[in-house]
Amino acid sequence: MGDTGTNITDSKNAKTYVEVTIVGKDKEGIVADITNYIFRNGGNIEKINQNVVKGLFGMHLEASFPPIDKSKMQKELDELGSKLAMEVKVHFHEENKIKNVAILVSREDHCLLKILNSRASGEINCNISLIIGSDEKLKSIADSFSIPFHFVNHLEQSVAESEILQLVENFDIDLIVLARYMRILTPNFVWRYPNRIINIHPSLLPAFPGAFAYVQAYERGAKIIGCTAHFVTEDLDQGPIIIQESFKVLTEDTLESIKIKGQIAEALALLEAVKLFLEDKLEVYWGKVSYK
């Protein structure tokens, strides 16, 4: 009986954590309307961040509430978004929830296979809901794991992103993993999923940025090379660093052997970053990742 009473008390005192993301054409009054809604409903803003780039406004806030009617809040924020002519997304954070993951790929398979095999072996626990490819080369891998594959390769990035965003929303995705996805996401996309997009970059950031990082490192005679798993922001390859892996360059190494070492390191770093996210062990404060 005592245990039952404790559970009821805990339930009554439990907080609901909500992420709200607002994206649209910049105008006056947006911040006031959203924050006033939070306060009127007994919420406490834990974090807030906003940006404006070329007239595009993006805001992300995290707030805690006493127990709330989630459906009612979703409906009211949808209505507020319509009033403001802004896109308002609501994400309810649930501890110990098995998260839904979308993986974006192009042509390289080493990171994708590492994640899929780790999921199959039980090393990570998540629903890999879909794989989205800018190329059809890796569709057979998705098929072999019985995961839906969607080919999205519009030349206009904004059109491609619109389709990807719709897919991600349809599958109620918690985490987007860029497993060597070779297209640059725009702020319009990134702002909708703050600290919920993880990328693997083939360099110890910020050195040797770009797609040919290993070539640059090899040509400059680097003795230690590595890769970086990081959250994606609107600043290319500058997001908060989660995990870094490195390896030594030996005298006998060739460009090809360095690439192979790099791919192994990439797969390990990306998997570790994904695992930490799935286990709710990551926090971002002032652009820096800390571990719970």
Beta bridge mates, 230: 199, 241
Residue 135 annotated to the active site: no
Considering all CA atoms of the chain, what is the largest pairwise distance in Å, rounded to the nearest integer?
70
Closest CA to 150 of 124, 171, 126: 171
Give me the catalytic one of 135, 237, 253, 280. Answer: 237
Active site residues: 237
